[in-house]
Amino acid sequence: MRIGELAERTGTPARLLRYYEEQGLIRVARSPNGYRDYDERLVDQVIHIRGLLDAGLPTRLIRQILPCLEDPADIHFADASPEIIDTLEQQRDRLTQRIELLTRNRDAMTAYVASLRTCTSV
């Protein structure tokens, strides 16, 4: 697929897709005429990347953990220093806190909507 289609399907600007390629987050084949040819599997991968970036992870860490998203057994230890492990644990804990906050907000919103429905059905 062409970059425009991938951009549309993932909600990611083409400029960011090129940046992800530069950062080694996605690998893109080239057609004989030199155009980038985006594989179908990149749709899910780009969505994963966007989610990890939204969660606050830097691209250097995302590059390391992306293989684990496809196959958790495919873990790379080449430069897993104690600092990187600590950073990943901190990021994991931040994600847990955000999930808990989002869950509380969702539950509060659900209760509020239920109250509104009760009030408007009278």
pLDDT tens track for 18-70: 999 999 999 999 989 988 899 999 999 999 899 888 888 888 888 887 877 66
pLDDT of residue 75 exceeding 60: no
Give the domain ranges of the chain. Answer: 1-75, 81-122
Looking at per-residue pLDDT, the higher value among 95 and 100 belongs to: 100
Do 18 and 12 form a contact (C-beta atoms < 8 A)?
no
Q: What is the CATH T-level fold of the domain 1-75, as seen in this structure?
A: Multidrug-efflux Transporter Regulator; Chain: A; Domain 2 (1.10.1660)
DSSP label at residue 36: E
Do 78 and 64 form a contact (C-beta atoms < 8 A)?
no
Nearest in space to 31 (alpha carbons), one of 19, 40, 39, 23: 39
Do 88 and 61 form a contact (C-beta atoms < 8 A)?
yes
The C-alpha atoms of residue 116 and residue 103 are separated, in whole angstroms, by: 20
The C-alpha atoms of residue 32 and residue 52 are separated, in whole angstroms, by: 33
